[in-house]
């Protein structure tokens, strides 16, 4: 993508009809393509493992902080502690989910 400078119109307003808006849209699409490429092609930095934060695990599993702590205390979910930061290996979280999967059709 060529470098194009976006000049704000004299009135300071960019609308969908201004050329500047189209340039900004093109730039955002380009950034999105780069981000998508990075997500699929760049390997995680720590020995090929991707680690999730507490917030990410809570969001992925739809559980509270307290529930996650209970799972840690009971040894149900593996984690690594670096000082006060807790990190969860994504592959191990997925293994736990697969191991505990209940198929209602069985």
**Phi, psi of 85, deg, nearest 5:** -95, 130
Please tell me the least confidently modeled range out of 6-10, 32-36, 63-67, 96-100.
6-10
The SS3 of residue 53 is strand
Please tell me the least confidently modeled range out of 4-13, 24-33, 70-79.
4-13
Average pLDDT over residues 65-84: 95
**Cα 18 from Cα 3, distance rounded (Å):** 18
Confidence band (pLDDT; 50, 70, 90) for 89?
very high
Angle (CA) 106-78-64 rounded to 5° is: 75
Average pLDDT over residues 61-84: 95
Would you state the pLDDT for residue 88?
94
Whether the pTM exceeds 0.85: the reply is no
């Amino acid at each position: 993508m060529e470098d194009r400078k976006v000049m704000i119109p004299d009135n300071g307003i960019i609308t969908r009809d201004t050329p500047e808006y189209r340039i900004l849209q093109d730039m955002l699409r380009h950034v999105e393509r780069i981000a998508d490429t990075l997500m699929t092609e760049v390997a995680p930095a720590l020995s090929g493992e991707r680690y999730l934060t507490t917030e990410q695990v809570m969001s992925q599993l739809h559980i509270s902080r307290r529930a996650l702590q209970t799972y840690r205390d009971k040894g149900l979910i593996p984690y690594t502690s670096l000082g006060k930061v807790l990190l969860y290996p994504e592959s191990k979280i997925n293994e736990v989910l697969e191991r505990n999967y209940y198929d209602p059709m069985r």
